Chain A
Amino acid sequence: MNTKMIMLHLTMSFNVFLQVERDFEREYDKLQKLEDQTKKLHKDMKKSTEADIAMSKAAVKISGDLLSNPLCEQDQAFLESMTALDTAMKRMDSFNQEKVNQISKTVIDPLKKYSSVFPSLNMAVKRREQALQDYKRLQSKVEKYEEKEKTGPIMVKLHQAREELRPVREDFESKNKQLLDEMPKFYHSRIDYFQPSFEALIRAQVVYFTEMHNIFSELTDQIDQAGLTDEQRERENEAKLNELRALSIVADD
């Protein structure tokens, strides 16, 4: 091969390499961002679910502790109110648990599964990278021999190098093609994969809050004074507290 051809070959190879790399990087970048988001979403959803459960349990404790206080037995009406409150809280907690279970099944677990693909994918990308390095190395070796004089030993070495190169090149090309195929497909698959999750999230919340509305509307009718604004409630509280403070036995600092 004369020099011109060599140069052309080299430039072409270089350009090919470059283009190949750019395409690949673009796709891989998107996947890496997706991996990051999936992990963060998974973590956040777990944290918020835990807080949700804790909140519900705390509400149950509020009513439970009050009901178990013998104070309630002193006044029948108060006892009825506290019992109603406790029942309501327990019911809400069980609905909350249901909601959390649904979310676990339809959102958190699928998120985890989705995340688990990434390590294999990353490994595959690494392997491709290795293959690329091998390919580059052997390619340059072949080109080195191709530049030299065509003596007998050189020709043998050239032939050997070419034989070595071929499977490596084919391997790289197949890996590359496969990844370039799979990566966008995988990236796109997230839409179909996660659509049910998002819908399920919303649906579970709707169910929960509908129940909450029913339960607490009933309860409020039973134990709360109707039609009070927040200012009125605040004023009433202040008034009672002031009445208490006016007592001599109360220290008002």
Chain B
Amino acid sequence: MESPVSAESAPPTPTPAPRNHTPSPSPRAEAQELRMEEKERTANTEEDPIYLSLLSKVSVLVDEPAEDASERAEERAEREAQRQLLATEELVYTERNYLRLLQVCTCTIRSNLQNLQPQLPNLDSMFLYIEEVIDVSGRLLSLLDQKQLTPHDPLFLETLCDAFLSLSTDMESAYKEYLANYNTVTALENSYKQKDALWTEIVKVIKSSEPEVNATSLSFFLVMPVQRIARYPLLLQTIMKHTEPGHPAYSLLEQTAHTAIALNCRINEYKRFREVADKYKKTETLTIRDKMNRLNSHSIAKKTARLSQFIKHETGIAPKLVDEEFDALEGFFYLLENGITVLHENVETYLDHLQRFLSCRPEEFDLDMDGEKPAICYKEIITALRQWILPTFEKRMRTLVHKPICSLRELLAGPRNLISKRLDKLLDYELIEEKPSLSYDEQAVANTYKTINTLLLNELPQFNGLALTLLWGMLGAFSCLHKDLAKDMEQLFQGFTQQLPHGSLEPNAFWEWAECSLLEGARRLESLCWNVKDQLNAPIVQPLSPGSQKRLKVLTDKHGSGKIYQLMGHVVGTRDLDLSLNRGELVAIISEMDTRGDKRRWLVDAGGPRGYVPSSKLVRYHQVTMDPPPSPHLITTMDHAGGVRRHSCTPGVRPPSYTPDTPQPRLLRSMSMTVPCLQVLAGYDFMARSSHEVSLRAGEPIRVLEPHDKKGSCDWSLVEVRGQRGYVPSNYLTVMPTSTTPTAPYR
């Protein structure tokens, strides 16, 4: 019979060797491992003199020769009981020591290390999950101590098993995190070891904090949970081995031992998952150089095989491994991803427009109406909206909607990478799936695929569900924010609506009043415009000097009255053939463009000299007693844009709109008197040829509404005569002083 405790309780050898090991199934290996561990263990337990004496007794027991059968059986039973007791005590004793050392490490050593100068980088990450482990271990011991039983007590075993079982879930969660993170701890310690001076310091601190233990590294302590969790099955099985099946606590003990094994399996599975996930879930940002470096014959072969498998799937050559459950999860995930991405973009667009809205400050331009109630109210309302109501809304939007959606979007990367990696591994796996026996590498491939697959099957539902709930919550918040905004505004308005003159009107009445007022205002504006243009823009009337009169006669005889123009300003000739003339001089137009086709220079006859003058300085000069000048072409453009034009032809439906850039009215009020009291009359008869035009009788008084047509051409004027409105050729109009009577009688 192999004794679980070796007689060679050697003096403690300081050989720390952090080791991860998984519990192996065979009992022989178990015991072997146990022995090896004994050797490695450094003063964890067996310094106790009582324990040592017990050990010696056991070895004495072992070496004694057997006596009678009954005596032997009795002795055997007693031996077993002793061994069981020992094993039980060992479990408890080692647990206490284990806890004590962990506490030393976490408190004393840690604080001493923290005092080191320079500061150790990332020191805290070494102690990340150790608190939970300490906590669970402490609870186990306190549960035992509560009952105040000793291992000699028959009920002790039962208590022990109960305590263990009750804590197994917590133990699993505490240890699984610790183990999954342990690689980080070793890596960090190695980084410390790189710096010799620093490492010597650290070792000094460790040794001084716990001199009895004589540890030479941090991992000496930090590896203990890794070892401990794996020891529980061994310790429990050892107790079980020396327990009679008839013992009242036997089945409980058996259950506990199984639980301990299951714990270890799950913890290791978790560790494996994490390793695989960590390896593949990060979005690698590799430069092209990195990617090229990664290429080698192996990786190329791998990728080629994957691609060919993929193509086989797509073309139907090879059957696809269809996993409906996974496909459903994957499909949901992609929909979720799409929804989240789109929502994120839409929310950002929304916030952009909100910012633009806030950047406008219409309340600053109050048109000097700061004495008027409506303007004041408006200003205050918009200021409140813009300076604190909307900014609050925006801030809440950002915190409760925008920030979460950003975070959520970032989290999508991990699962996405894993899903695509799974597909890759699946393709690899399918290639080797059918093989009866797999090589080590192939086994690894198969395992990786299965690990990722299981991981995703387990966790995607959670991810999908949580993400959906988050989305829902955000949209609820979105709605609530709008409600609050509207409520704030309503409260704001309450203070103002009584102050407004028409605030109490019913909606229909109000809008009617508003429209009427605005119409009225527009009409008044229009009449003002008319006044300004009509009265003020008329160029002044100057009497014709005798010289001018003579020239007028000469030019009219030669060229006809239709060609007589007057200079509006002085011109000074700069080029060849340019004339220099004074303001008010009369000329006759020979050509409305120069030899190069430039319409801005007109060839004129100045009653002798001929040359070019700028056309912008020329204005038609009208006289009364001439033949009717030819009316300009009927412009068909008057048909389009029905709205305004049509209306302006029928009596008084809509007033014509004034355009700001009306060209100078070409109508020059001609003068035969010095007194500028003039009236516009029809110079000649005119027959309207379409519904846009109006007929004229020579001599009847008319009122000019617009001295140009829709296109700005001054050839036509919009006039009102006999109550009708329409277009007439501008050169058919004439201006007479009011005191003269018309030359032709009315018909």
A100 an interface residue at 8 Å Cβ cutoff? no
Residues of B within 8 A of A106 (CB): 514-515, 518
Identify A120's interface contact among B404, B413, B532, B541, CB under 8 A.
B532
Identify B367's interface contact among A41, A192, A217, A240, CB under 8 A.
A41
Cβ of A199 and Cβ of B374 under 8 Å apart? Answer: yes
Per the bound structure, the CA–CA distance linking A241 and B342 in Å amounts to: 19
For window 190-210 of A, CB contacts with B under 8 Å fall at 190-203, 205-207, 209-210
Cβ of B528 and Cβ of A117 under 8 Å apart? Answer: yes
B540 an interface residue at 8 Å Cβ cutoff? yes
Cβ of A249 and Cβ of B459 under 8 Å apart? Answer: yes
Cβ of B479 and Cβ of A198 under 8 Å apart? Answer: no
A175 an interface residue at 8 Å Cβ cutoff? yes
Residues of B within 8 A of A247 (CB): 459, 462-463
Cβ of A69 and Cβ of B342 under 8 Å apart? Answer: yes
Nearest-neighbour CB distance to chain B for A233, whole angstroms, equals 5
Bitwise interface map of A from 210 to 253 toward B, beta carbon under 8 Å scored 1, else 0: 10110011011001110000100110110011011101111111
B399 an interface residue at 8 Å Cβ cutoff? yes
A25 an interface residue at 8 Å Cβ cutoff? no
Nearest-neighbour CB distance to chain B for A160, whole angstroms, equals 9
Residues of A within 8 A of B483 (CB): 212-213, 216-217, 219-220
Most buried by B among A54, A178, A207, A251: A251
User: Which of B316-324, B375-383, B549-557 interfaces with chain A?
Assistant: B375-383
A26 an interface residue at 8 Å Cβ cutoff? no
Nearest-neighbour CB distance to chain B for A60, whole angstroms, equals 10
In chain B, what residue has the closest Cβ to A41?
Answer: B365
A90 an interface residue at 8 Å Cβ cutoff? no
B338 an interface residue at 8 Å Cβ cutoff? yes
Nearest-neighbour CB distance to chain A for B644, whole angstroms, equals 13
Cβ of A128 and Cβ of B479 under 8 Å apart? Answer: no
Cβ of A45 and Cβ of B362 under 8 Å apart? Answer: yes
Bitwise interface map of B from 494 to 507 toward A, beta carbon under 8 Å scored 1, else 0: 00110011110001
A62 an interface residue at 8 Å Cβ cutoff? yes
Residues of B within 8 A of A85 (CB): 475, 478-479
Bitwise interface map of A from 36 to 48 toward B, beta carbon under 8 Å scored 1, else 0: 0110110011011
Nearest-neighbour CB distance to chain A for B659, whole angstroms, equals 7
Known: A178-B536, A249-B281, A249-B460. A119 touches B489 (CB 8 A): no
Per the bound structure, the CA–CA distance linking A252 and B408 in Å amounts to: 11
At the interface, is chain B mostly helix, strand, loop or mixed?
helix
Cβ of B466 and Cβ of A243 under 8 Å apart? Answer: yes
Known: A124-B532, A168-B540, A237-B473. A33 touches B368 (CB 8 A): yes
Residues of A within 8 A of B490 (CB): 206, 209-210, 213
Residues of A within 8 A of B367 (CB): 34, 37-38, 41, 190, 194
Cβ of A250 and Cβ of B281 under 8 Å apart? Answer: yes
Per the bound structure, the CA–CA distance linking A193 and B368 in Å amounts to: 13
Residues of A within 8 A of B674 (CB): 163, 166-167
Cβ of B525 and Cβ of A114 under 8 Å apart? Answer: yes
Bitwise interface map of B from 302 to 328 toward A, beta carbon under 8 Å scored 1, else 0: 000000000000000000000000000
Per the bound structure, the CA–CA distance linking A180 and B360 in Å amounts to: 35
For window 508-542 of B, CB contacts with A under 8 Å fall at 510-511, 513-515, 517-518, 521-522, 524-525, 528-529, 531-533, 535-537, 539-542
Cβ of B470 and Cβ of A194 under 8 Å apart? Answer: no
Known: A33-B368, A52-B357, A224-B477. A163 touches B543 (CB 8 A): yes
User: Which of A2-10, A15-23, A70-78 interfaces with chain B?
Assistant: A70-78
Identify B486's interface contact among A124, A178, A212, CB under 8 A.
A212
Which 4 residue pairs spanning A and B have beta carbons closest together?
A224-B476, A213-B486, A198-B374, A251-B414
8 residue pairs A–B, Cβ–Cβ below 8 Å: A69-B338, A105-B518, A106-B515, A113-B522, A116-B660, A117-B528, A225-B476, A234-B399
